[in-house]
Structure 1
């Protein structure tokens, strides 16, 4: 007799069993046709769950009677995502096999005739061998080319193929652009400053670099060199320029933070001191020229008093021994 089996979430189908068959026989026939495991099947008739050993006639099931079936999917062991080990190639392959089996089960449910193909081991092995055969793969590619050529030969066939190609290409490009945007958002990129930087960059052409170069040249010069006097003059001028720039920087910082650092009047007027002095917060006025305050920091060294006369000028780099008339001293 034929019985209508209605799964809860799928379409109904017919199953043929013997007149003296039991519920277990019905489950076995369902397994053969559609691949449902008998242990996970539950047969319900008129609101009652039927046992496996129960005969169908004893419960009033006759030709074209309708029974309901519920099916519990087998439990799949979930992988531990918090594991420190990376998923192996075998685990990935097994996951793909599980997806494939789900597709096969769905195909069996939609087409009952396909269940016979998948349940036959010889047919399945032939299908696998055909898919792995390189000659058959080439033959499939040739067949695909033939199909596309025949499509292009029809009126408007080429335009239709182009439109389909653009549709697929557009979807692929959009997904690729979205992935690039996600990568850019996750990448840390420094923000552009709102205003340009005003910090001075170090330059090799400053006064300090020139002074060090001239001092090294001066040390290598002999006392009888006619250019030695000119080099001593340049060293003195460069040192005074460094002092002047230093004091200007200190005055700018003092105006900003409230502290005043100034040059001594002798250094400002004559430029005879290579060094600087730090005074209290009194402003510079004419009284300071009459009475020179005592510096807080000691001066590095002094040039001679008569430094305005080039013939009598002495520098720390000359071989001249200091006399009583010179003010040259190192503290």
Structure 2
């Protein structure tokens, strides 16, 4: 269930209340006349089944409530109410399958913003991965994958492609490109330092690496895994199952490939540099392609769901 807190101008409260009352999947409606001060107006509270949430939000925006008032949405972790159970039963579909497009846009906007924290995480992740490739240590590689924040901008690009939001696409692309550029440049400097103190050596990089050799060996399996991970990551975002993102993060070779390219660069190993870069680009392409197709499929399925709901007499 979702909890909505609305601030409505007095002249729109009647329309908002009427909409909520007729909407399938809503309950616990509360109206507080004149309770809002900034902006001035009435406060309307209600709960709505997640599967009906996107439709209700779209219609509230159709009343320009996001411009003249306020729309705030919260997840309800626990609701002990027969009315809530009835509302969820009446709403079409399953809550786990519902996509809140506004929430997705807002979340990807935040995650795809180029910030000091984002740059710090992706740089540290790449440095950890650099240690992993030199030591042929799979544990360090997995750790670096989990730390890397690059899925945020990738999800932003997918969302922007489906919603046709060029600003979000540009913001995400800048965060992705600048993030990897800064991380690889910093890792090059870090690798020079580690080489100077004798912790990194060319012999270690060029030696047989059974645990991390896959990082600079792009093939069809790399692309297939990227496709699967992109679909899983997108589903985890749209279904609010954020825990699945950890599994996505440690299944795709993006940060480790960037790290391997950076280390290989200081030893003039053109082969590993180019192959690692190819691995990185191949995985990024697979994630974006799968994420975009997943969102398009979800959008189409929910459009069909709304059509069936309209035919059944729901608002």
Give TM-score scaled by structure 1 length: 0.21
Instruction: Point out the structure with max Rg over C-alpha.
Output: 1
> Which gives a bigger RCO, structure 1 or 2 (Cα 8 Å, sep 6+)?
2
Q: Which has the higher helix share?
A: 2
